[in-house]
Amino acid sequence: MFSNILKKDLSRRTFLKSTAATALSAGLPSIALAAGEPIKIGFLAPLTGATAAWGAPGLSGCEIWAEKVNAAGGIKIGDNSHMIEFVSYDNEYDPAKARTGATKLIREDGVKFVMMLGGDTWPGVQPVADRTGMLFSTLLPSDLSPETTTLLAPTEVHPIYLVTGVQWLAENKPELKTAVMCAQDDALGLPSVATYLAAFEAAGIEMQDEPLLFDPATTDFAPIVTRLLSTSPDIVCLDTCYSDYVHPICEQLFQQGYKGQIISATADFYDQLIAKTSKEFMEGFIFQFPDFDDPALNGDNINFDDANGFYEEYNKRFPGQWGAVSWEYAAIMQLWKAGAEKAGSVEPDAVLAAMKDDGKGKHAFGDADWWGTEMFGIDNALVGDWPVVVIENGKAVIKGFKSIPAWYEQHGDLLIKHMSAYDQMWNQRG
């Protein structure tokens, strides 16, 4: 009886090792794809519950992307072409369920790459990543640490890109000198607060008041807006508020008579924001997430294939649902596809090596550097240019791409100072 168990356990142990070491393939049976076999990609994000808006729309975006790639013949690995297939697991934004999901995707479904939202769920998955050597991606680079060698933050280097908006603001509207800020008190809000503080300090913009934190369950924003406006600032900064906060806050700013500048990480559904306030009120609103029908995304510097077509298709299927989540997972897939084709393999470490080869990567918004040793303890974040988007005449317009590494070179110490004050440096996090 016991010897059986022991044997069974041993055989599974061998299996584990073989998964981790396939690319070395030192005499172990190769798990290379057979010709025509589809490549499975794991999608491990919240699909139900209060966080579903950060997962479900991304899965839809990925499916649109996969249909396009598959129609064009799939992914070419060596001499064979393979179709892409997504396998999803709803982790309900729970670390335990994420761990279960990662196990299922890797050990049972045989996926070659797993995309996650990250955040609370990543630390639950990390042991699985360590043991299996599976390649993961996250939307939240604050998950990165020196131990996370197979985790990439290849699209959204939140919150570092926020400095570009402030930089553009300071260059183009130098008369605006004072700011206030509000943010939800959570894992996304706090590092973002620190980043904006650094960016404002670098730009010589003075904070009128401590950043005002509110609980994520807040529904009535009138008291918060009243407080923000009590110091008559030139700039109101909405930090990385989710659209559920951005909309009522803007509506209140409008109702309480604010007429100054607003800067925010996102402005999802900004057409509705205009409907709730006015075209004049929203004119000049600065944020960081473009519509993908923007002509600036047809430039040669952009690495997201046919951004305009993707946007059109997404809006056709899900009218009025476009947001940052819609394209980010698809952009990660694009990067992965390039890495796999370059490596001539779909095995995690081969793709990882090919992606990070020469320290450069093809970020959606232009060629970028693998970066982050100071901020995250590991250079697994892909950082380059990021667009500054401004609402002009009721439409989001990319006003330019600004380099994040260039800003960091000059003002990195400020960022580290503010991040440390909010306990957000990698070596301060748990």
Partner 1 sequence: MRNFVIWVALAIALIVLPNLVSFSQQEVLVFLTINILVVASYRLLTLTGEWSLGHVVIMGVGAYASALVTKELGLWVPLGIIVGGLASALIALALSVPLFRMKGFYFLIGSFAAGEIIRLLWKRFRDPFGGAKGIKGIDPMPDFSIGIYQFDFFEPVSYFYFSAVVVALCLWILWRIEKSPVGLTFHAVHWQDKLAQASGVNLRRYRTMAFVIASGFAGIAGALLAHYIGTINPNSFDVEVMVFVLTWAIVGGTGTFYGPILGCVVLTILNEIVLRELGLEQTRPLIYGLILILSILFMPNGLESIVQKVTRRKDAK
Partner 2 sequence: MFELLAQTSLNAIYAASYISLVAVGLVLIFGVMGVINFAHGELFMAGSYVVVALYADRMVPFFVAVAAGLIFVGLLGLLMERALFRPLRDNPLGGLVASIGFLMVLQALAVLGFGVRMEHIPPVTQDVIRFADKISIPVARVYVIVTAFVMLSALWYFLKRTRFGWALRASAQDPEAAALQGISVTQTAMIAMFIGAGFAGMAGALTAPLISINPHMGHSVIITAFIVIIVGGVGSLEGAVLASVVYAFVHTFVTTFFDGVLADITGLALMLIVLIVKPTGLFGSADRA
- The answer to whether 123 contacts partner 1 (rule: CB under 8 A) is yes
E strand map for 251-311? 261-263, 286-287
Q: Which does 257 bind (CB under 5 to 8 A by kind): partner 2, partner 1, none?
A: partner 2
Q: How far is CA 151 from the centre of its chain?
A: 13
- The answer to whether 403 contacts partner 1 (rule: CB under 8 A) is no
Inter-CA distances, 380 with 2, 319, 331, 369, Å: 44, 34, 16, 9
Residue whose token pair is 């070419």 = 76
Residue closer to partner 2, measured from CB, 81 or 321: 321
Residue closer to partner 1, measured from CB, 240 or 252: 240
Q: What string marks each residue from 179 to 198 as x (binds partner 2 by CB under 8 A) or -?
A: ------x-------------
- The answer to whether 421 contacts partner 1 (rule: CB under 8 A) is no
- The answer to whether 49 contacts partner 1 (rule: CB under 8 A) is yes
- The answer to whether 218 contacts partner 1 (rule: CB under 8 A) is no
Quick one: which of 271, 240, 252, 237 has its CA closest to 395?
271
- The answer to whether 86 contacts partner 2 (rule: CB under 8 A) is no
Total residues contacting partner 2 (rule CB under 8 A)? 43
Give me the amino acid identity at 243. S
Inter-CA distances, 199 with 55, 84, 85, 153, Å: 29, 41, 41, 22
> Contacts with partner 2 in 247-276 (CB under 8 A)?
247-248, 251, 254-257, 269, 272, 275-276
Give the helix/strand (H/E) hosting 383. strand 381-383
- The answer to whether 103 contacts partner 1 (rule: CB under 8 A) is yes
By the 8 A CB rule, do 277 and 254 touch? yes
> Contacts with partner 2 in 33-62 (CB under 8 A)?
48-50, 52-53, 56-57
**Taking CA 112 as the corner, what is the angle to CA 308 and CA 47, rounded to the nearest 5 degrees?**
60
Q: Which does 187 bind (CB under 5 to 8 A by kind): partner 1, partner 2, none?
A: partner 1
Which is it for strands 385-392 and 395-403: parallel, antiparallel or unpaired? Answer: antiparallel
Residue closer to partner 1, measured from CB, 104 or 177: 104
- Cα 274 to Cα 278: distance, rounded to the nearest angstrom: 5
Residue closer to partner 2, measured from CB, 148 or 184: 184
Give the burial string for 92-107 (b: 16+ CB within 10 Å, else e).
bbbbebbbbbbeebbb
Q: Which of 85, 94, 201, 271 binds partner 1 (CB under 8 A)?
A: 94
83: which residues sit within 8 A by CB, 6+ positions away?
38, 39, 70, 74, 75
Q: Which of 126, 261, 277, 326 binds partner 1 (CB under 8 A)?
A: 126
- The answer to whether 101 contacts partner 1 (rule: CB under 8 A) is yes
By the 8 A CB rule, do 19 and 132 touch? yes
- The answer to whether 97 contacts partner 2 (rule: CB under 8 A) is no
Q: Which does 131 bind (CB under 5 to 8 A by kind): partner 1, partner 2, none?
A: partner 1
Inter-CA distances, 21 with 119, 179, 258, Å: 28, 52, 59
Total residues contacting partner 1 (rule CB under 8 A)? 44
Binding site for partner 2 (CB under 8 A): 48-50, 52-53, 56-57, 185, 212-215, 217-220, 222-224, 226-227, 229-230, 243-245, 247-248, 251, 254-257, 269, 272, 275-278, 318, 320-321, 323
Residue ranges that bind partner 1, judged by CB under 8 A: 1-3, 5-6, 8-9, 12-13, 47-49, 56, 88-90, 93-97, 99-101, 103-104, 107-108, 119-120, 123-124, 126-127, 131, 142, 147, 185-187, 190, 423, 429-430
